[in-house]
Structure 1
Amino acid sequence: MKEYQLILKEKKIVWGETIDIERLIDNKPVDSIRQGENSNMDWNLPAGIYRAKEIVIELDKMLEAMLVQLGDPVNSDPTVLLDSLLANLAISGSLSSLPLKSLELEDHAGIEIRAQAVRIGEQLVSWAREINAEKMTLAEYGSETLSELEFRSRCYGHPLTPEATAQVWGPFGGPRIMQIYNEYLHQFVLLRDALLPFSNWEEVPFEVKEYREFKGLRFLEPSREVFLTQLFKKKLTHKSIIHYAQSVVSSGLKKVGYGFQYRLGTVLPAGLGESARTASRYLLRWHPVQTIQVEDAEGLAAVSFDYEYEDYYSAPRKEAGKGTPADDELLPEYGVDYNEPSIARLLPNASTDRTTLQFSMEMKGSEFAVDLGQLFRGQRFLYRPQRSSYAGSEFIKREYINWHPAEDILSHSGLVTNADGIHFIPTGKNELVLWALLGKLYPENVVLLDKGDQEELEAAYVSGKGFGTQFLVL
């Protein structure tokens, strides 16, 4: 068994058994262009396992068929059609299929998804240009077969640029070309939207089943509609993103936790393996690893990962204690050099009705473990030093600051809080220690520092909820 490893600033997070995903993404048994029910050639994605670029390769077959059917050398230039595709995948403009730029998205989830939409849309069009320039489709099928492609695209038409409209409906175009182009655009929109939850979206493998009643990625339309409704209503949560991701990869799961395993790997919040200071809070990341060693008749069983404490508010709490009095002018000097731990392990605990994962590491001769779900929850809820006119913590006297060794905090059971005061916990710049603390501290008034200098502390004191116990983590 080869353990899966994530490298985090010379530290490691290891778990499970690595999956050879390339072995699973094999050649499809049939072509996407083939004889339809009538005499014409039809298009559909063959059943199989795909990643984003492989879908784009299959979609190029529709584009190349349109160029062949347009015939005229001027009209067979793909630039106009691809520019119109780019306008559809943009997040602004009258042709946008996802006009997120006009929304005042201030929540972390909405901001991250909006940035994703831009990145993915631009890269998909870039691939489409590169792939079409190679003319692989024309070499594979020939102009005679491509000229016979014809089908009905059953959805509302996507708007086109004036140049694309002139080309599609011009003397060499017509309804037949428009039907193919509409499906081409729609499949790209579905692909872009399906990949929105994943930070490493280019790598994510997902299964496509072929249906008689609709084409390609249209099986995603119901879950996509729910997801986008939540996004536009600014009600997008971590749970709703997980639910959508489970549908995209055809996991078969109905239960929703903070992550999941499916036949082709494991999906967890994207922060794992990255710095907690800069990591995404709501995006997900796919990992080629079998986390839970169980199988069913069809291969790797799908598993939802549960929080140890479904409701953190009702979780057992322990007080950190008074700690050691600290001078705020000397806070950075209270740091500890944590050369260890250098490795953390994810340890599964599977029972008949739920599966949890622990983030486990050895430090100062002791083993410490925190719930992985609570670790991600802590990162989503943390604060960064930022002055706020709404915070009231400026009235807290700074002489009440106390510092605590990280191992003391991690040694408590339940979630750690305190009755009052400001409490400082150094991590020695060890990201594993930092992540573990985020999973142990009650996620209410935790402020993550970068330097601990006076300017940052001034902002930290008035960050967070503005009342109650405050934990400063450096």
Structure 2
Amino acid sequence: MTIPTTEIPAYQLSGLGGILVGHAIPPKPGVSARDEPQPHTWSLRSGVYTPRELVEGFAPLLETVFYHLGEDSPNTRPARASLLDNVASNLSTNTRESTLPFQDDVTDLSRREIKEQAEQIDSTLVNWARDAPNGPFEPNLNLRSPCENHLLTPGNVELMFGKRSQPHLMQLCNEYLHQMVLLRDALLPFRNFDKVLIPINGKAARGMRHLEPARERFLTTLITKSATQSSVVELAKALLEPNLPQTDTGGYGFQYEHGCILPSFLSGGDTHFHLLEYMPTKIDPLEEKVLFDYELSDYFTAQRSEIAVGSLVRAEDLLSFPSDSVSPIVQNAHVAITSSASSTIFQLKLQLGLNNGKCIGVDIGQIARGHRYSYQALTGESTGVLNQNAIVHPALDILLQPDSGLITAKQGGLHVIPTMQPIVALAILGKIYPENVVLLPEGGALGQTEKSGKDFEPKFVIWGGVKQGGLKGHF
């Protein structure tokens, strides 16, 4: 597929040596003046919002409540501060009023990620709400807000149901709380949640209530099982582009009118488990909406090829990182469209240009799977000699194996693949059958991998290219 690229700047990620991802697009937030809300009603106007702009768009609901409550009595906590404290308590993950409660000691990795993500979003949304200046209000605003069981803190019960209040003010307060909860939950899939551009059709629904079915499906999966990659992607699609094509896998990312959504590990640093990243870029400028789907719809049934012959090395000779076998050096990297099932379903590869002139492509969907299913070497474990010899493979041999299928070792064994480059380590994760792959930092020792991963062979250790950190390593 040929895409004209003249005069369109490339979009470059900051980490992993600067992967080029499509062509940068200017942000286009803005709201429509053509669907001005009717008097005495509230909704968001049609347009493209940043999350902060959405918080500002919710504000008239609460500002109207403050207007009717009137001036605060001396020596009492102001109503504004008190109700925003209530919002903070509703968005928190560990209060009586929590709308997304978690236990303090979350051990499941996917739930832990969502908990940490929710807490980061919670504090940001509340800070935005507190920092917002006193905004517009509608004195005659009166709407029916279905009860969502969003609890008031004890101090606010008297405020909302006492002599200062009026019957309809609790409805406005409840609607504001619910819109903030919907926004928090809608932003859970995105690492850089504050940068996402969100299209809103103000004529189709009140505020963000159109997301309620998608939110309920996501939370049901989170509570009854745990967050899955498909559930995270589905929630992101419901927010940004619900009319994408359907596939068996659901895809791992997509392009919509205002940018691309891809796995967050492509930006390097402390990597996440399931989170995605918003990127202000178009991989195909000619298409408005595109689903990025896996090359292998089911990795379990995919063809498996035998790993290339390596060098058998005695355990006592592998006490330090085998830097003499490190290759290759990546000189440039970019995301490329390699095939398309239709004009709206693409497969993407991470293309690596090497210092030996070769170019290698690895399916980004399979890299994402390999990264999710990998294990970090345990810290604090034995750093002594292993109880078995290992087979060392040059990274280039792994990357140059045929594109079809995934690499395994039918005869078992411990297979070690050294590399100093994070982007090479990630690419290797997309080549190996993702069942028993351990990530070991360059300064670590193979003894740390004995109790990592699964207790059977083959076991693959990618040695180097990663540091301890994040939920799934620091690249």
- What residue is the counterpart of 2:13 in the other structure? 6
Listed one character per residue, the Cα deviations across residues 333-378 of structure 1 (whole Å, up to 9, x for unaligned) are 4125557213211110343444211111122332111111101110
- What residue is the counterpart of 2:128 in the other structure? 127
Q: Aligned equivalents of 1:452 and 1:303: distance in 2? A: 41
Aligned counterpart in structure 2 of residue 316 of structure 1, from 303, 313, 317: 303
- What residue is the counterpart of 1:260 in the other structure? 254
2:469 is the alignment partner of 1:469? no
Aligned counterpart in structure 2 of residue 446 of structure 1, from 405, 427, 437: 437
Secondary structure of 2:265 counterpart: coil
- What residue is the counterpart of 2:267 in the other structure? 273
2:465 is the alignment partner of 1:459? no
The one-letter code of the counterpart of 2:20 is V
The one-letter code of the counterpart of 1:248 is L
Q: CA deviation at 1:162?
A: 1.5
Q: Aligned equivalents of 1:85 and 1:217: distance in 2? A: 17
TM-score using structure 1 length: 0.87
Listed one character per residue, the Cα deviations across residues 287-330 of structure 1 (whole Å, up to 9, x for unaligned) are 111112333xxxx1x11111111111222222223411224444
Q: CA deviation at 1:123?
A: 1.1
The one-letter code of the counterpart of 1:182 is N
Aligned counterpart in structure 1 of residue 367 of structure 2, from 367, 375, 384: 375
- What residue is the counterpart of 2:86 in the other structure? 84
Given that 1:8 and 1:431 are in contact with CA atoms closer than 8 Å, whether structure 2 keeps it comes out as no
Does 346-355 or 333-342 show the bigger shift?
A: 333-342
- RMSD of aligned C-alpha atoms? 2.4
The runs of 5 or more residues in structure 2 that have no matched partner are 1-7, 464-475
Secondary structure of 2:189 counterpart: coil
- What residue is the counterpart of 1:398 in the other structure? 388
Task: Describe how 1:139-154 pairs up with structure 2 within 5 A.
Answer: 141=136, 146-154=138-146
Q: Aligned equivalents of 2:328 and 2:360: distance in 1? A: 16
Q: CA deviation at 1:229?
A: 0.4
Given that 1:357 and 1:373 are in contact with CA atoms closer than 8 Å, whether structure 2 keeps it comes out as yes
Q: Could you say if the C-alpha distance between residues 240 and 157 of structure 1 is closer, same or farther in structure 2, counting changes exceeding 3 Å?
A: closer
Given that 2:371 and 2:429 are in contact with CA atoms closer than 8 Å, whether structure 1 keeps it comes out as yes
Q: CA deviation at 1:63?
A: 1.7
The runs of 5 or more residues in structure 1 that have no matched partner are none
Given that 2:310 and 2:393 are in contact with CA atoms closer than 8 Å, whether structure 1 keeps it comes out as yes
- What residue is the counterpart of 2:102 in the other structure? 100
Q: CA deviation at 1:235?
A: 3.8
Secondary structure of 2:334 counterpart: strand
- What residue is the counterpart of 1:284 in the other structure? 276
Given that 1:421 and 1:470 are in contact with CA atoms closer than 8 Å, whether structure 2 keeps it comes out as yes
Task: Describe how 1:291-302 pairs up with structure 2 within 5 A.
Answer: 291-295=283-287, 300=288, 302=289
Given that 1:269 and 1:281 are in contact with CA atoms closer than 8 Å, whether structure 2 keeps it comes out as no
- What residue is the counterpart of 1:60 in the other structure? 59
How many residues end up aligned between the 2 structures?
A: 440
Given that 2:315 and 2:385 are in contact with CA atoms closer than 8 Å, whether structure 1 keeps it comes out as no
Given that 1:258 and 1:305 are in contact with CA atoms closer than 8 Å, whether structure 2 keeps it comes out as yes
Q: Aligned equivalents of 2:327 and 2:386: distance in 1? A: 30
Q: Aligned equivalents of 2:158 and 2:351: distance in 1? A: 62
The one-letter code of the counterpart of 2:124 is Q
Listed one character per residue, the Cα deviations across residues 98-134 of structure 1 (whole Å, up to 9, x for unaligned) are 11237x7433221111111111111111110010xx2
Q: Could you say if the C-alpha distance between residues 340 and 46 of structure 1 is closer, same or farther in structure 2, counting changes exceeding 3 Å?
A: same
Q: Aligned equivalents of 2:358 and 2:38: distance in 1? A: 66
Q: Could you say if the C-alpha distance between residues 306 and 95 of structure 1 is closer, same or farther in structure 2, counting changes exceeding 3 Å?
A: same
Given that 1:68 and 1:76 are in contact with CA atoms closer than 8 Å, whether structure 2 keeps it comes out as no
Q: Aligned equivalents of 1:453 and 1:116: distance in 2? A: 29
Given that 2:414 and 2:459 are in contact with CA atoms closer than 8 Å, whether structure 1 keeps it comes out as yes
Q: Aligned equivalents of 2:122 and 2:455: distance in 1? A: 40
Aligned counterpart in structure 1 of residue 219 of structure 2, from 219, 223, 228: 228
Q: Could you say if the C-alpha distance between residues 199 and 333 of structure 1 is closer, same or farther in structure 2, counting changes exceeding 3 Å?
A: closer
Secondary structure of 1:272 counterpart: helix
Secondary structure of 2:155 counterpart: helix
Given that 1:360 and 1:368 are in contact with CA atoms closer than 8 Å, whether structure 2 keeps it comes out as yes
Aligned counterpart in structure 2 of residue 334 of structure 1, from 317, 322, 325: 322
- What residue is the counterpart of 2:117 in the other structure? 116
Q: CA deviation at 1:154?
A: 2.6
The one-letter code of the counterpart of 2:93 is I
The one-letter code of the counterpart of 1:126 is N
2:11 is the alignment partner of 1:19? no
Aligned counterpart in structure 2 of residue 425 of structure 1, from 417, 425, 447: 417
- What residue is the counterpart of 1:304 in the other structure? 291
Given that 1:220 and 1:247 are in contact with CA atoms closer than 8 Å, whether structure 2 keeps it comes out as yes
Q: Aligned equivalents of 2:100 and 2:162: distance in 1? A: 28
Q: Aligned equivalents of 1:49 and 1:420: distance in 2? A: 53
The one-letter code of the counterpart of 1:160 is L
Q: CA deviation at 1:242?
A: 0.7
Q: Aligned equivalents of 2:299 and 2:352: distance in 1? A: 22
Q: Normalized per residue, which structure has more helix?
A: 1
Q: CA deviation at 1:59?
A: 1.4
The one-letter code of the counterpart of 2:447 is E
